[in-house]
Amino acid sequence: MKFGYFDDEHREYVITTPKTPLPWINYLGCNEFFSLISNTCGGYSFYKDAKLLRLTRYRYNDMPYDCNGKYFYIKEGDKVWNPGWKPMQTDLDSYECRHGIGYSRFTGSLNGLKAQVLSFVPVNDTCEISRLTLTNETSVEKTFSVFSYVEWCLWNADDDMKNFQRNLSTGEVEVVGSTIFHKTEYRERRNHYAIYSVNAPITAFDTSRDNFIGAYHSQMNPEAVLNGKLTNSMASGWSPIAAHQLDVTLKAGESKDFIFVLGYVENPENNKWESHNVINKKPANALLAKFDTNEKVDAAFAELNAYWDGLLSKYTVESANDKVNRMVNIWNQYQCMVTFNMSRSASYYESGIGRGMGFRDSCQDLLGFVHLIPDRARQRIIDIASTQFQDGSAYHQYQLLTKKGNSDIGSGFNDDPLWLIAGTSAYIRETGDMTILDQMVPFDNDESVAQPLMEHLKRSFDYIVNHRGPHNLPLIGRADWNDCLNLNCHSTQPGESFQTFGPSEGPVAESVFIGGMFVKYGLEYADLCDLQGKTEEAARARREVEEMRKVLLSDAGWDGKWFVRAYDSYGNKVGSHECEEGQIYIEPQGFCVLAGVGVETGEAKQALDSVKERLDTDYGIMILQPAYTVYHEELGEVSSYPPGYKENAGIFCHNNPWVSIAETVVGRGDRAFEVYRKTCPAYTEEISEIHRTEPYIYCQMVAGRDAKFHGEGKNSWLTGTAAWTFVNISQYILGVYPTHKGLSVDPCIPADFGDFKVTRQFREGTYFIDVKQTGSTQKGVKELTVDGQKVDGHIIPYEKGKKEYHVQVVLG
């Protein structure tokens, strides 16, 4: 069952009922100012940091779902309604929400009055614009009132939810004309304030929540709105809000626009005041003046669309499969940009007050956005590498605002170092910019011990070499990619953090998965050494990789039909037929095979066949089987979840693409695509009543076969699934993969996929790639020509400065 449809021409998902199974949201903002916005106008805004500079308040765990936002109430006679249906939930004659790329549009109508809202954040300004268009679709004049409403957050969203003894006394506001200023703490140490304004004279306003809503009402029936009259209240402490009242008359057929701007304004420390205790409003007025007419708003909206046109034209596909086209050309890349901006901070499942930027998360996200914004990817790599320690280990998280490692969580997640190689290699393959390797980068942000980035990569590599256990496999530390395999933790008390309790290192617990990563990224490290002329180091790296490959294929790593997952701190196998529960895990099957382990000797196909046989479901591949039914102290959080959820046998979408990529490595296009399809939003749209999360983007987890709600998605938007799926479909299935020598084209597609075209910008060139599938070939390039010239192999030689490449590829 669907709750809307894709409008590919406009790059929108059109939601046709407000009663979606869960709030279906979108993100506004590209640089510094961001908003989350749901299909019923819920959500919140922040400047740069969702925790520290939160502009509007949101209530988590609320009921009904999603109860605060930027709302417009329309009161005509006794009827009060909202264009996005919530919060009043008045039955509307029509409702539509269009989530687009960086904007959302809402249309509601009642009794011949149509209200449209277009919300977006301009590319380079620190505000959100909501243009409200009201149209009288009847043949008689209409008179009604419009009320706006936002609730301010007192900046630090964490403190705002806790520190009431102070916060209920600090709120301060000011009103000048149609602009409401939220200036809490500006008198003392803040140099910023927020504004909410409309480009028309207002009849009245409110800034006290109790006056607007009423102490015993809610957003669903705000007292002042029901009374039809705001009270011009001036908040002093308690809960400041911003609400405007506009009294509107529309002739038959007439339409009027009102432009609302919610802005963040910062003043230089020495220019905070106009006069004694009068805040400097000049930058606020300048901001508002930029968007005070329809023409200016249209221009800003056009600029936003052009910005996205630019990004989304870097990789496009035209195939016979609309769903693939739509995901590749629009939604998958869009989600990659959102994960670039948000990491794992602010979604409807991540509160924005929790973790900072994950070391491994950010490196993996980069794989999906590096082709879109290489310069910003470069900076991101430097920021991440700056939180590495001298021994090659790394802070597991860092804060975007300070760029400092987060000592609460600390280090000891032993896969982290290798992800830095993954991200850097992807950046250099994409851009050819080797200078990044020479850039001096501090360790733990200490410039006095800075070393070239290449030295950081060496230390990443050596960290694994120097931290091996009894089987010569990498030690796991606190956990590897699977944050819930806490093999050294042994926690027995509720509330202890699985990630930080217990020793950060143990001499016994090992990870086969990190071994697979080491093969993949150790070889990429060796390639970088070669490019720098360090042939001995390259040879050493390859020797280490070969040793690891042998261990993986020995009895220590190979279980007979699949790869073992790990060894616990007693030296017992995890993810082996010897175990009672958790006999097979997805991660080492996907990663060892995509790294090429066992491809020649048959283990690769066998491991993938075992995945299909034991882990596959209609909704994707589960992370492990059988699910843990009891808590295993020696394993940690993985066994803490009820069977079928999250890391305990959920379908963790992130590592489904690893299996799909692995299938392309062994040349099985049909199966690779089947794995791609099962978690692909454009396909699961059809079962939205089961899947429940947004059908245009990936979620982190779908409940596995053991769960009560098998097939139900959770944790949408901020997941490494976005990047890995884009890598999978664009680089492995469609097969256009950036190498140091140039673009490689080596697709692996289903037998019935048909011909397709890819247009790819790569370094200075645009590549027009035409792929012909002869018969039912799934993989194998029979012929490749570049501008009419035959080329051996499947790499298009890169020519510096060349602008256009016309490439014909024949599979067969």
Burial of 790 from C-beta contacts in 10 A (0-12 / 13-18 / 19+): exposed
- CB distance 312 to 101 below 8 Å: yes
Partner in contact with 183, chosen from ligand NOJ, ligand BGC, none, beta carbon below 5 to 8 Å by kind: none
- Judged by beta carbon, residue 265 or residue 651, the one nearer ligand NOJ is 651
Please give the structure tokens belonging to residue 203.
């009849």
Give the interface size with ligand BGC as a residue count (CB under 6 A): 6
> In this complex, which beta carbon is closest to ligand BGC, that of residue 208 or of residue 679?
679
- What is the footprint of ligand BGC within residues 138-197 (CB under 6 A)? none
The nearest distance, CB 356 to ligand BGC, in angstroms, is 11
CA distance 236 to 152: 13
Residue of 151, 483, 559, 568 that binds ligand NOJ (CB under 6 A) = 483
Interaction partner, residue 499 (ligand BGC, ligand NOJ, none; CB < 5-8 Å by kind) = ligand BGC
Phi, psi angle pair for 340, to nearest 5°: -60, -50
Q: Two tokens at 307? A: 């910005």
Distance CA 587, CA 593 (A): 10
343 binds ligand BGC (CB under 6 A): no
DSSP state of 5: E
Sheet of 566-567: strand order equals: 510-511, 566-567, 573-574
670: left (phi over 0), alpha (psi -120 to 50) or beta: alpha
CB of 193 to ligand NOJ, least distance (A): 34
Q: Is 322 in the active site?
A: no
Torsion angle of alpha carbons 768, 774, 777, 778, nearest 10°? 20
The partner in contact with residue 360, picked from ligand NOJ, ligand BGC, none with C-beta cut-offs of 5 to 8 angstroms by kind, is ligand NOJ
**Bridge partners of residue 192, in order along the sequence:** 266
In the complex with ligand NOJ, which residue's Cβ is closer, 408 or 787?
408
Min CB(518)–ligand BGC separation in Å:
21
Minimum Å gap between C-beta 650 and ligand BGC is 9
Residue 484 binds to ligand BGC (criterion: CB under 6 A): yes
Residue 587 in the binding site for ligand BGC (CB under 6 A): no
Q: Is 387 in the site for ligand BGC (CB under 6 A)?
A: no
Q: What element of type H or E holds 333?
A: helix 332-342
- Asked if 347 touches ligand NOJ (CB under 6 A), the answer is no
Does position 464 interact with ligand BGC (CB under 6 A)? The reply is no
Q: Which sign does the torsion angle of CA 610, 614, 618, 623 carry?
A: negative
Contact status: 499 vs ligand BGC (CB under 6 A) = yes
For helices 294-312 and 332-342, the axis angle rounded to 10 degrees is: 100
Q: Report if residue 481 touches ligand NOJ, rule: CB under 6 A.
A: yes
Q: Does 415 bind ligand BGC (CB under 6 A)?
A: no
Using CB under 6 A, pick the residue from 70, 646, 654, 692 that binds ligand BGC: 646
**Site string (511-530) toward ligand NOJ, x via CB under 6 A:** --------------------
* 717 forms part of the interface with ligand NOJ (CB under 6 A): no
Q: Which is the catalytic residue, given 125, 361, 483, 706?
A: 483
Amino acid at 280: N
Peptide bond preceding 87: is omega within 30 degrees of 0, i.e. cis?
yes
Cα–Cα nearest to 513, from 614, 648, 607, 606: 607
Identified binder of ligand NOJ from the candidate list 42, 263, 358, 644, rule CB under 6 A:
358
647 contributes a contact to ligand BGC by CB under 6 A = yes
Give residue 404's identity as a one-letter amino acid code. K
When asked if residue 416 is in the footprint of ligand NOJ (CB under 6 A), the reply is: no
Q: How far apart are CA 761 and CA 769, in angstroms?
A: 11
Partner residues linked to 701 by β-bridges: 652, 714
Instruction: Name which position in 82, 321, 339, 482 contacts ligand NOJ (CB under 6 A).
Output: 482
Q: Which residues 6+ apart lie within 8 Å of 398 measured at CB?
A: 356, 357, 359, 383, 384, 387, 404, 405, 406
Instruction: Indicate the residue among 479 and 584 with the shorter CB distance to ligand BGC.
Output: 479
What is the footprint of ligand BGC within residues 229-268 (CB under 6 A)? none
Q: Supply the DSSP symbol for 654.
A: G
Indicate the residue among 445 and 719 with the shorter CB distance to ligand NOJ: 719
Interacting residues toward ligand BGC by CB under 6 A: 483-484, 499, 637, 646-647
Interacting residues toward ligand NOJ by CB under 6 A: 344, 358, 360-361, 481-484, 647
Catalytic residues: 483
